[in-house]
Structure 1
Amino acid sequence: MENAKQINEQLTICGQINLNQLQQAAQEGFKSVLNLRSSEEKGYLAEEEQQAKALGLVYCQSPVTPTALNQEHITQILQLIDDLPKPVLLHCGTGLRAGVISLMYLVARQEITPEQAWEKAQQLGIDWNASPKLQEIFQNYLAQFSRITQTAQKQEYS
């Protein structure tokens, strides 16, 4: 699928999708679509939910805005990803929010370390200049897990 980046076997991210890409996602074996855009955003595809369901995809929308993204909302989105049939296609306007959320998911589920998440963000070409606030949220999230890991290691060697 054009502009899609596979994070792992279960998660793929991309920017705003069109109806052809939605059909392609279904043909490629995706089971779910998680839309991180709000209906007020420019370029929002109003018929996306209806089309996704018609193609047999599970569809969820959980709008993410950097100014309103807090720990509670992150936890809800990560739980939503847990609950969705896999593989999941996460998308937003440019792929930035989808990339950050997917990396947070992998760190929270201990599939990668915070350091690996930061490296993966660079490999994905995430443009932090587009959203310094989202970068700050991501760094704080990773730091939280770094502290947990360091504390666990200290207790292990005590």
Structure 2
Amino acid sequence: MKQEFVEEHPDSYVSLYALEENNGMYSADSYAVAYGKLSDRLKKTNAAESIRSRIAALKKLTPVGMAAQNFTRKDQNGRTIRLSDYRGKLVILDFWGSWCGACRQSHPHLKQLYAQYKDKGLEIIGVANENVHGQKTPLSRSKAAWLAAIKKTISTGFMY
């Protein structure tokens, strides 16, 4: 609904702030398109500058169709996971947070995909982000939040 509102009201401050707060609902490209439709008046605001910066950062990460940069993280059991360990497999990176309702709603679908394609080499790696709106969350609290969320997801079948 918020995306529709932004689309239908390109000169509304509500659209500007909805776009600023809901960047996780867009790919880098669709986020840039949505921003591009805002009125020139709104594009002169500080909030618009924040959106432009975020779009630029998103576009630097991994362009569509390109290999993701390698990373190393600990899983929920303390084991080291490297993206490069999955080279040659089809990997879905699921960036989520315990606070993100839309992210959590996708988990049953991801479980279904995994069950259907794991024998063909599909891997799903969940990467939890507990920092909401740029607010740094203490590591112990972050870990407790995503571990609790994982417990609520029955028989995940894929890495978190």
TM-score where L is the length of structure 1: 0.30
Query: Which structure ranks higher in relative contact order (CA pairs < 8 Å, sequence separation ≥ 6)?
Result: 1
- Max radius of gyration: which structure? 2
TM-score where L is the length of structure 2: 0.29
